[in-house]
Structure 1
């Protein structure tokens, strides 16, 4: 065959470098299959092992309760603020835009209502449908100590067994039996039982006394349920304490976001494709003032552009932003743009801003796995701000790394 003439023997085998197997460090999940680890890596940040889960599945037994009357109006604008969404398949299909591009945990138990015994649940979702909907996990309630304890445990076992066959994680959600109180002893019991049955994630409640025992005794990641509405500062403190004591995530982001703005956060950026109500959200942010020392200041609003986001999306909101942030990687996945592709993208954004007469009014930022060597070219291309995280903490030399970065940035201007 003529096309075989162009095949050449490979040379770059790097025989002096052994293949490196990257460990999967999420708590208790190192022995799971590749597909299950991949889904868990979308739910939990691979670098930190943490997550903010936004649960709005309560309608499956509460109906259109306060705040959930209109998911499209009240809830959808908050999607960009979370790492992962938790909902029912009905709401996912009817309300959540496919372009939201957030990992989803699907509610898989139900068949009850607030008018009857809450613990009387059945499996309400097949694994096939969960796969069809591209979900990253399924979730079911487990009611230890209730009259339907046995059935609720059978429900999660059924989901766990089905999920293992196809690489779908199961999250067990600890409901409270009617004869049990919400204390460390109860949640230690319920979280451990669910983990022993094989659940890969546990969602439970925070308790003031002894939560570190709950987290330590549970061999898989725990996510803290939102619970009752709290003042913003109390909600933040609860989240911090839970994470500090061993939890891997929280599932009520809105109070946290509000509290951060009130506490002084003066810059919020929204991903375009994950913000179905982008214009509304930017206007809401434009009405906020961040508390700072000596007074307040307007919250700076920005949009983040993923590597494949069409740059034309800038134009409809160009009057409503102070920052445009170009992402060099896909959040949650990696897949970094090449240096040449990133520079071309920066050049196109600069040209667009110049054409609109907005170059001096809008800060241009770049974020995503940047390294010191590429900084001079990036700064020279017209970027006003760079965002970096892990590169600055490398080798436990934060101060030295920051100094080198600042020197490079200032010399490139």
Structure 2
């Protein structure tokens, strides 16, 4: 592996566990300035204080989240986007470059692909091109791959998620983010079919903290490399405490009841 890539990966992964806690903050392009993303410096501060490994944001947001003080946190610049008000919300287009990320001091870049969408071929092309470009610069690439389209009956189906993870792996990503399939046995099949780290997405806002802790615990037990969860973290009443708790689950294999006791005591 390119030495620069190895060094950057160690900034967004815990080098002792090989796992990571990533908090995406790129939702503003998709759905606007939702709660938790208005005062970005405060949100990033809470995330860093909790001990997250990295955040994801678009290139123009980096200036709004840079604090110049407090705990450090890895930076992943997201290179693709679409909006919820578009007639084609699942059609992601490139809006940045690897060079943009390098100039911002980023530790990695990310690209989003929705398999099954009518524009899938364009997104696959973009992922392949960005993988090649990122590799030239020694820049890690996170591929966010989901199945969303007219032929997709269940985006959480094990075979579908396995396909998503395999696309990210085969087109050159260093890390792939996919939906959680719902149980340890099925997600272990996803991990087994992929030779790069697999992290889970958070999906829609969950009803309670235990659901999130359970999902993360089970994903790690299945061999997953951690999480890349946005709204369920930055819209939590106490993001710092939640991340500290998830740190214990992801990096120290804390059991669910102990994690909930830690979270409830906050």
Q: Does the TM-score normalized on the shorter chain lie above 0.5? A: yes
How far did residue 165 of structure 1 move?
0.9
TM-score by length of 1: 0.54
Shift of 1:98: 4.0
Offset, 1:218:
1.4
TM-score, normalised with respect to structure 2: 0.82
1:201 and 2:175 matched: yes
Partners of 2:115 and 2:149 within 8 A in 1: no
User: Does 1:90 find its partner at 2:66?
Assistant: no
Q: Residue deviations 1:52-99, cap 9 Å, x none? A: 111111112111123323323445423221111111111111232244
Is the 8 Å Cα contact of residues 146 and 161 (structure 2) preserved in structure 1?
no
- Residues 156, 170 of structure 1: 8 Å contact kept: no
**Do residues 166 (structure 1) and 142 (structure 2) align?**
no
Shift of 1:130: 0.8
RMSD over aligned CA atoms reads 2.2
Q: Please, which runs of 5 or more residues in structure 2 have no aligned partner? A: 246-257
Report how many residues are paired: 237
| 2:26 and 2:58 in contact (8 A); partners too | yes
Answer with 1 or 2: which has the greater Rg: 1
Greater relative contact order (CA < 8 Å, ≥ 6 in sequence): 2
Cα displacement (A) at 1:170: 1.0
For residues 148 and 54 of structure 1, the distance between their equivalents in structure 2, rounded to whole angstroms, comes to 27
**Aligned residue number for residue 47 of structure 2:** 78
Distance of 1:53 and 1:171 partners within structure 2: 11
222, 239, 256: which one aligns with 2:216: 239
Match of 1:223, SS? strand
Choose the corresponding residue for 1:129, options 74, 80, 100: 100
1:68–1:75 contact (8 Å) kept in structure 2: no
For residues 88-237 of structure 1, the aligned pairs below 5 Å read 88-99=58-69, 101-110=72-81, 112-116=82-86, 117-179=88-150, 180=152, 181-182=154-155, 183-209=157-183, 210-230=186-206, 231-237=208-214
Q: What is residue 254 of structure 2 aligned with on the other side?
A: none
TM-aligned CA distance change 1:74 to 1:127, over 3 Å: closer
Structure-2 separation of matches of 1:74 and 1:126: 25
Change (3 A) 1:249 1:146: same
Distance 1:139 1:173 in 2: 7
**Separation (CA, whole Å) in 2 of partners of 1:68 and 1:40:** 26
